[in-house]
Structure 1
Amino acid sequence: MNLDAHTYPHPSKRNVVYGRKGMVATSQPLAAEAGLDILKKGGNAIDAAIATAACLTVVEPTSNGIGSDCFALVWVDGKLHGLNGSGQAPENLTIEAVKEAGYESELPKFGMIPVTVPGTPGAWAKLSEKFGKLPLKEVLEPAIIYAEEGFPLTPTLAKYWERAYNAYSRLFKGDEFAPWFETFSPGGKVPKVGEMWSSPGHAYTLRLIAETNAKAFYEGELADKIDKFFQKHGGYLRKEDLKAYRPEWVTPINVNYRGYDVWEIPPNGQGLIALEALNIIKGYDFTHMDSTDTYHKQIEAMKLAFVDGMKYITDPASMSVDCKQLLSDEYAKERRKLIGEEAITPEPGKPPMGGTVYLAAADGEGNMVSFIQSNYMGFGSGIVIPGTGIAMQNRGHNFSLDPKHDNALKPGKKTYHTIIPGFLTKEGQAVGPFGVMGGFMQPQGHLQVVVNTIDFGLNPQAALDAPRWMWSEGKKIHIERHLAPHIAEELSRRGHDIKVELEGGPFGRGQIIWRDPKSGVLIGGTESRTDGHIAVW
């Protein structure tokens, strides 16, 4: 790994950032600075991460909200901890109920049906309780102030806000969607770049969560409001579902890639896909970054890993294979044999039996956090609980209605989840957190960032700014327009269906913080494809 600030093989819009006492990197400047303020008040990296995450529900509602799910990888005292903050399907939500509602092939994207129990408020409280230094009330205060007093919209935020409003105005016709418009486009007006927006209901909700350590959301006043609204509009979520929820501490999974351990959250997250793909490509030597063969082999490995993930990843209790089987060297060798000179249409293998926000935070004491939080598709389901600012996620859309599928919908089950935090260690020491948000782009972004960092020695900013590719289906590969034309042409000759994208949004938004093991200096990179920002001390 090369942390040289001058290592920029592709055009970069930002310089790499250095600090010593603390660093917070995320997609919205106000949220990153809120986390840094908490560090300066005596909080640690965990407090800073919670403060930033809560603030993001206010200042970037186009990607996440109080009704989100989240996951975290937390490095404390020389050990990596994992927290699964995703919720389960309501007890009344069954395959039969969905089909009776008129949906035969898949769950709808919007409305009451795809809403599962939001895990984020409970996860904030759990993280604070186990690792935080400051009271949750103090940690959530910056988010509460922004919700009450308002903030000016940043360019990327305003673009996606207007895009959502235009789409929702066509799609959302029922009364259950009225609170979304009342909350996010009051008076029929969408906030523009630089205009102020506030949400008193959001502030009130955050204060209740802070004062009760999230119990108000799962057992008290907020749970009652959620239950009442879902019953009124024929939804399935109930107070009993909320009360039954518990965030879950989990053991992170990893593979060793060229001497570095790459860590991910285990299923129901899709980090397994990134690890399987890395396990496949570690059998190759990549000598040149801008080589057609380098791109081709990464793409083919990712396709093979992705189809496995889509077949097997779900709530661990329902998986027909386990992570060890999919991440075994034996299985990686078998999958690697399928990669030739031409693009293939991938099929799942048979292992040997046996809208999202991301943030990274670090403090001067060595604690580091990789944290991701999402409503899934932009604002989520389109369901907002009246007067609360709670925008509910639509994670249930990922469930299968095929009862034989590993990810088949069942009451109380957690679905396949796209959001994944990443973490890097070497020889038992923390290197640092990384992540690239963006739906099914996420494991692909993780693979590319790891390869850029380890194989080609790019610093955090250069690793993020490098041109990206994204596999979508079959042989279709989307590429950024600044990827070298000769590589795109050669990939096309190898059978890849290449589509050049004019916008960077589909390729995800990443953040990285590495720690120099000798000096303790923090080195950060933030996403140039959005309003990315690093707050540093």
Structure 2
Amino acid sequence: MNQNPHTYPYPSSRNVIYGKKGMVATSQPLAAEAGLDILKKGGNAIDAAIATAACLTVVEPTSNGIGSDCFALVWVDGKLHGLNGSGQAPSKLTMEAVKEAGYEKELPKFGMIPVTVPGTPGAWAELSQKFGKLPLSEVLEPAIKYAEEGFPLTPTLAKYWERAYKAYSRLLEGDEFTSWFETFAPGGKVPKAGELWTSPGHAYSLRLIGETNAKAFYEGELADKIDQFFQKHGGFLRKEDLEAYKPEWVTPISVNYRGYDVWEIPPNGQGLIALEALNILKGFEFAEKESVDTYHKQMEAIKLAFVDGMKYIADPSSMSVTVEQLLSDEYAQSRRNEIGEDALTPEPGTPQKGGTVYLATADGDGNMVSFIQSNYMGFGSGIVVPETGIAMQNRGHNFSLDPSHDNALKPGKKTYHTIIPGFLTKGDQAVGPFGVMGGFMQPQGHVQVVVNTVDFGLNPQAALDAPRWMWSEGKKIHVERHLAPHIAEELARKGHDVKVELEGGPFGRGQIIWRDPESGVLVGGTESRTDGHIAVW
């Protein structure tokens, strides 16, 4: 990886950032600085990640909340650990119950039905107990203060907040949604950029979670409030579902891409898609970054990997093929052979049988964390438990109502999950954490960041600033407006249905921290498409 920190081939107002003792990169400045404060108080990268994540539930509620799921890749003492912090479907959430409620084709996006067990509070506690240095109560204190005392909204946050309010005002009808409006639009007024917003209930819940290592959320007072609210409004989530939850330590999965190991969380996360695409791409050579061949082959590889992921990724116990089969060199070659000069309409292959926030942290001792947390669609389900600030995710919407599908809804099952943290290593050395949040954009963003970094030696900021593209379906490709026009035209001639987007939001928000193995110097990049920030020590 021969990076040039002085080369910026793409429009950006940001420089690459360097540090030595610690670094926190995320989409919101207050959250990043909160993580750095925890490092300066004697915490490590794990403490900083938890503090930043908790703070993001307050200062970026448009993307995540206490009722979120999360995943983490944690580098400690020369080893990479994976934590799956996603929750299961409630025991009463059956396919029959959903259809009796009037939903025949898919689970709804909003309301009580798509809410699965939130994994985030339990994952914070698990990370803190296994790897943290400071008490969870101290680590959550910055988030508690922002919830109690208020904070001024940043411009991007205010834009998405207002957009959500307008959409929810049209879509959310019923008493179960009243608390959302009371919490996020008090007095019927949406907070604007620069205006203060407070959430005392949010602070109260965070304090209980910190004091009890999340037991209050799964077994105590908060669990009781969640249970009562869902029973009152005909929801399926119950206290016994919360009591049954436990975060799961998992073995990360990887492929070797041109001498670098790229790591992801195994299914039920969709990181497998990024790895399959990279496994296909490693059989090609790319002469230059800004060429139609470079873009075309990446797009074709993502399409093939994505349709496989949508067919096969589910709770591991329900998958009809294995990770090893999908990531085998033989299968990669068979998919690679399908890529020609023209755009294809992808179909799933047959392997041989045998709303999100992302943050990265690093400390001076070599610990590093890649962490992602999400309510799924913006604020999530629209359900907020009264007087708690707990906004519930709508992750259950991803379940299939086709009984024959690998991802078919079943009580106690985890659904296909979009959020994925990434990590890069070389040999036995950590290179560092990376991620690009944003629904089904995420594995596509991971592939683009890895290719930008490994194939073309772009520094972290340039790798993030590079124009992005996103496949949505069939031959449809969305590209950013600063993609070179001649590239877009040539892609169209190859049969891609190219649509130029004016906003950068759909293309995700990324963060990167790399560590120099010899000097220990940290180098970071943050997202120019949002209010991204790197706090450095």
Query: Any idea what SS the aligned residue of 1:203 has?
Result: helix
Alignment of 1:109-148 (within 5 A): 109-148=109-148
Residue 167 of structure 1 deviates from its aligned partner by 0.5
Residue 262 of structure 1 deviates from its aligned partner by 0.1
Deviations 1:328-355 (A, max 9, x none): 0000000001000000100000001111
AA at the equivalent of 2:486: H
Partner of 2:107: 107
* Unmatched runs of 5 consecutive residues or more in structure 1: none
Query: Any idea what SS the aligned residue of 1:423 has?
Result: strand
Deviations 1:20-69 (A, max 9, x none): 00000000000000000000000000000000000000000000000000
Partner of 2:10: 10
Partner of 2:438: 438
Query: Any idea what SS the aligned residue of 1:362 has?
Result: strand
AA at the equivalent of 1:385: V
Partner of 1:321: 321
AA at the equivalent of 2:228: K
AA at the equivalent of 2:401: L
* 1:378 correspondence with 2:378: yes
1:376, 1:174 → 2: CA distance?
A: 21
AA at the equivalent of 1:43: G
* 1:530 correspondence with 2:530: yes
Partner of 2:96: 96
Query: Any idea what SS the aligned residue of 2:51 has?
Result: helix
Deviations 1:52-103 (A, max 9, x none): 0000000000000000000000000000000000000000001110000000
Partner of 1:158: 158
2:326, 2:428 → 1: CA distance?
A: 23
Partner of 1:359: 359
Deviations 1:154-188 (A, max 9, x none): 00000000000000001111110000000000000
Residue 324 of structure 1 deviates from its aligned partner by 0.4
Residue 524 of structure 1 deviates from its aligned partner by 0.1
1:10, 1:111 → 2: CA distance?
A: 42
Partner of 1:262: 262
1:335, 1:357 → 2: CA distance?
A: 32
Residue 5 of structure 1 deviates from its aligned partner by 1.2
Query: Any idea what SS the aligned residue of 1:278 has?
Result: helix
* 1:309 correspondence with 2:292: no
Query: Any idea what SS the aligned residue of 1:425 has?
Result: strand
Residue 4 of structure 1 deviates from its aligned partner by 2.5
2:229, 2:4 → 1: CA distance?
A: 54
1:428, 1:258 → 2: CA distance?
A: 15
Residue 3 of structure 1 deviates from its aligned partner by 3.4
Structure 1 moving runs of 4+ over 4 Å: none
Partner of 1:417: 417
Partner of 2:426: 426
Residue 109 of structure 1 deviates from its aligned partner by 0.2
Partner of 1:79: 79
1:62, 1:28 → 2: CA distance?
A: 12
1:326, 1:95 → 2: CA distance?
A: 28
Residue 148 of structure 1 deviates from its aligned partner by 0.2
Query: Any idea what SS the aligned residue of 2:261 has?
Result: strand
Query: Any idea what SS the aligned residue of 2:378 has?
Result: coil
Partner of 1:34: 34
2:3, 2:151 → 1: CA distance?
A: 35
Residue 428 of structure 1 deviates from its aligned partner by 1.3
1:449, 1:281 → 2: CA distance?
A: 13
Residue 11 of structure 1 deviates from its aligned partner by 2.0
Alignment of 1:270-289 (within 5 A): 270-289=270-289
AA at the equivalent of 1:295: Y
AA at the equivalent of 1:308: D
1:281, 1:131 → 2: CA distance?
A: 36
Partner of 1:43: 43
Partner of 2:178: 178
Deviations 1:355-374 (A, max 9, x none): 10000000000000000000
Query: Any idea what SS the aligned residue of 2:524 has?
Result: strand
Partner of 2:449: 449
Aligned pairs, number: 537
Deviations 1:107-140 (A, max 9, x none): 0000000000000000000000000000001000
2:475, 2:281 → 1: CA distance?
A: 18
1:479, 1:139 → 2: CA distance?
A: 40
Partner of 1:169: 169
- Among the aligned pairs, what percent are the same residue? 87
1:286, 1:81 → 2: CA distance?
A: 32
Residue 12 of structure 1 deviates from its aligned partner by 2.1
AA at the equivalent of 2:6: H
Deviations 1:242-295 (A, max 9, x none): 000000000000000000000000000000000000000100000110000110
2:449, 2:37 → 1: CA distance?
A: 29
Partner of 2:519: 519
2:313, 2:389 → 1: CA distance?
A: 32
Partner of 1:244: 244
Query: Any idea what SS the aligned residue of 1:445 has?
Result: helix
TM-score (ref. length: structure 2): 1.00
1:315, 1:7 → 2: CA distance?
A: 43
Partner of 1:218: 218
TM-score (ref. length: structure 1): 1.00
Residue 7 of structure 1 deviates from its aligned partner by 2.4
Residue 463 of structure 1 deviates from its aligned partner by 0.1
1:478, 1:355 → 2: CA distance?
A: 19
AA at the equivalent of 2:481: R
1:210, 1:219 → 2: CA distance?
A: 14
* Unmatched runs of 5 consecutive residues or more in structure 2: none
Partner of 2:491: 491
1:261, 1:173 → 2: CA distance?
A: 48
CA RMSD of aligned residues (A): 0.4
2:525, 2:2 → 1: CA distance?
A: 14
Partner of 1:473: 473
Query: Any idea what SS the aligned residue of 1:407 has?
Result: coil
2:4, 2:533 → 1: CA distance?
A: 20
1:445, 1:516 → 2: CA distance?
A: 23
Deviations 1:444-498 (A, max 9, x none): 0000000000000000000000000000000000000000000000000000000
